[in-house]
Amino acid sequence: MRVDFDGVTVTLGGRDVVRDATLAVEPGSVVGLVGPNGSGKSSLLRTLYRVLTPRLGTVRIDGLDVRRLTGRQAARAVAVMLQDPPTDFDLSVQETVLLGRAPHHASFGRDTPADLRIVDDAMRRAEITDLADRMVATLSGGQRQRVMLARALAQESPVLVLDEPSNHLDISHQHELMSTVRSLGRTVIAALHDLNLAAQYCDRVVVLAAGRVVADGPPTRVLTRELITATFEVEVRVLGDPDQPVFAFRRLAADGTSTRTESHARS
């Protein structure tokens, strides 16, 4: 499914936190949204899964305004994996992943053998099969995040929204997550802080700054040293092949010069 944000402005607390954002996401492509804290990534994504309504502009899925979809149509079309998975689930891992099947059921419909197969497969892909009977509330942050991935996979929606999906995951599971979502062939829009993950796994990277789209294109064209420095106020070294860049970052001092202490940012 294709997703279009067309001139989207979101106003919160009297301030435009997303400004006139236009973005077309082709079916089956993986698009990374990057930008500094508070640049509007989550707010833009929330208009797609209808937690926020734009003050101006339209969000469409396959040409249909998302505001015109029924709740069930929206849940079948879009699955969401959030950065801070809920901790108050009084459910087991398997029961939680089964919730992903709810949009496919008639009201009060029962889980079918096909649902259970899909849930098993989703848990296997998210590497949580051994946690199936654990209560979600007892899991670590990263394990919980993988449960939310499995639930989103079980939902089998053509569009997948990930909002900083990897913040609790160890490095191996970060790569596993991105490689899994890439392999699905679904339309994926992911807000990412890790520019190395964005460069490696996204077909396109969209940069937001102060609510505006300031760059949009293939990672190697968008994630230039100049853009990264201007947007994130860090000095960057680009390592590796030009086709598969790996970024290392160094903090800029207040006067714009580089500092001595280098921090790692490879993944």
Binding site for ligand ATP (CB under 6 A): 12-13, 17, 35, 37-43, 191
Smaller CB separation from ligand ATP, 31 or 191: 191
Q: What's the min distance (Å) between Cβ of 15 and ligand ATP?
A: 6
Alpha-helical segments (H) within 169-259: 171-183, 195-201, 219-222, 225-232
Name the maximum alpha-carbon separation found in the chain.
63
Smaller CB separation from ligand ATP, 42 or 174: 42
Distance of CA 237 to the CA centre of its chain: 26
Q: What's the min distance (Å) between Cβ of 191 and ligand ATP?
A: 6
* Side chain identity at residue 6, one-letter code: D
Smaller CB separation from ligand ATP, 154 or 190: 190
Smaller CB separation from ligand ATP, 54 or 103: 54
Q: What's the min distance (Å) between Cβ of 165 and ligand ATP?
A: 12
Q: What's the min distance (Å) between Cβ of 44 and ligand ATP?
A: 7
Angstrom distances, CA of residue 112 to CA of 102, 104, 124, 176, 261: 11, 11, 18, 29, 57
* Side chain identity at residue 122, one-letter code: A
* Cβ-defined contacts of 48-55 (< 8 Å, 24+): 48/3, 48/5, 48/78, 48/159, 48/161, 48/189, 49/74, 49/78, 49/80, 49/161, 50/74, 52/10, 52/12, 54/8, 54/9, 54/10, 54/18, 55/9, 55/10, 55/11, 55/16
Q: What's the min distance (Å) between Cβ of 130 and ligand ATP?
A: 31
Smaller CB separation from ligand ATP, 37 or 183: 37
Instruction: Indicate the SS3 state at residue 204.
Output: strand
Q: What's the min distance (Å) between Cβ of 35 and ligand ATP?
A: 5
Smaller CB separation from ligand ATP, 19 or 104: 19
